[in-house]
Amino acid sequence: MEFSHVSVMLQETVDKLCIRPGGIYVDGTLGGGGHSYEIARRLSGAGRLIGIDQDGDAIEAASGRLAEFGDLVTIVRSNYSEIRQVLEELQIERVDGILLDLGVSSYQLDTRERGFSYREDAPLDMRMDQRSSRTAGDIVNGYSERELCRVIRDYGEERFAGRIARQIVLAREQAPLETTGQLCEAIRAAVPKKAQITGGHPAKRTFQAIRIELNRELEVLQDTLEEMISLLNEGGRICVITFHSLEDRIVKSLFRKAEQPCTCPPEFPVCMCGRQSLGVVLTKKPILPGEEELEQNSRSRSAKLRVFERRMMQYGSSQT
């Protein structure tokens, strides 16, 4: 099927990046190239866009969509965690803006054989990078009951994590769980009927948790965000769109730490730790989709946009 994905908060994100025609920008989650297209068409001269994605289907789709911009655009198949290496290979030291549109794309959800959706029966895959050998099936059939409970509880925020983990183990003792449908059956058997009526699809949180675990989504975000900020030029911005509370919590926390890194006790009259602020959080509260977008794209409902601007300053100095 054609790679189709509606870019969430497209205008808001591009506006917040404050594109300069001669600037260098990185889209770390290229997808179908929706955000990248709007960035690229604002570039000229020495301007450049580097698009990064680990999904081969996304690379193919975005390459076609962005072909009209020629040498202004460079597309790399990689994970955004490798951004420093990608830039070094392109002989780029710093950039003027970085975008992350996290989570799973509409194309990945809607392509049955990718195994991301609990609404279609398909192989238990869920790989964002299909070059990886490990699949969701390896987690479902290989993790211990305790490990499954941890993943479903921590990454799915699922209150029935223990019951679901136990039911998965019982089900796979009969035969390995090989499809999303079989996993859904095990989850339905574990979740109380009343909760299934009032709480939406019973498999939603468990599928999210397994996908996050498989693709190391939160780990990569946690380990890479501060490095991305350090790669920005003075005045450069990083925009991050999240789709669930776990992602948003990490972004909010790391942005705050980058703005106020001082570890001195509050009673100290001046900073003694010497930690320098990396810049300013421009979104004390996240930007949310407008009513029109919510009506047109229901998947944008949980989206939040946070923005950080790189400014070299000593902690405690003026941030106006």
Write out the DSSP string of 165-194.
HHHHHHHHHHS---BHHHHHHHHHHHS-HH
What's the pLDDT at 320? 34
Residues of the chain with pLDDT > 70: what percent? 96
Q: Is the pLDDT of residue 269 over 70?
A: yes
What's the pLDDT at 33? 94
Q: Is the pLDDT of residue 19 over 70?
A: yes
d(C-alpha 204, C-alpha 206), whole Å: 6
* CATH placement of domain 10-106+217-314: 3.40.50.150
C-alpha to C-alpha distances, 50 to 87, 105, 164, nearest whole angstrom = 9, 19, 42
Please say whether the beta carbons of 181 and 121 come within 8 A.
Answer: yes
- The dihedral formed by the CA atoms of 117, 120, 122 and 126, expressed in degrees to the nearest 10: 0
Q: Is the pLDDT of residue 3 over 60?
A: no
pLDDT tens-digit map of 104-158: 888 888 899 999 999 999 999 999 999 999 999 999 999 999 999 999 999 999 9
d(C-alpha 90, C-alpha 303), whole Å: 32
Confidence of residue 319 (pLDDT cuts 50, 70, 90): very low
pLDDT tens-digit map of 38-52: 999 999 989 999 999
d(C-alpha 299, C-alpha 163), whole Å: 28
Give me the helix-helix angle, 180-190 and 204-215, nearest 10°.
Answer: 130
pLDDT tens-digit map of 230-261: 999 999 999 999 999 999 999 999 999 999 88
For the chain, the average pLDDT equals 93
What's the pLDDT at 53? 97
Q: Is the pLDDT of residue 194 over 50?
A: yes
Please say whether the beta carbons of 4 and 64 come within 8 A.
Answer: no
This prediction has a pTM of: 0.91
pLDDT tens-digit map of 162-193: 999 999 999 999 999 999 999 999 999 999 99
What's the pLDDT at 317? 41
The residue with greater pLDDT, 74 or 200, is 74
Amino acid code (one letter) for 293: E
Helix (H, G, I), strand (E, B) or coil at 102: coil
d(C-alpha 304, C-alpha 308), whole Å: 14
Q: What are phi and psi of 158, to 5 degrees?
A: -95, 120
Q: Domains of the chain: which residue ranges? A: 10-106+217-314, 118-215
d(C-alpha 58, C-alpha 3), whole Å: 7
Average pLDDT for 204-212: 97
Superfamily of domain 118-215: Putative methyltransferase TM0872, insert domain (1.10.150.170)
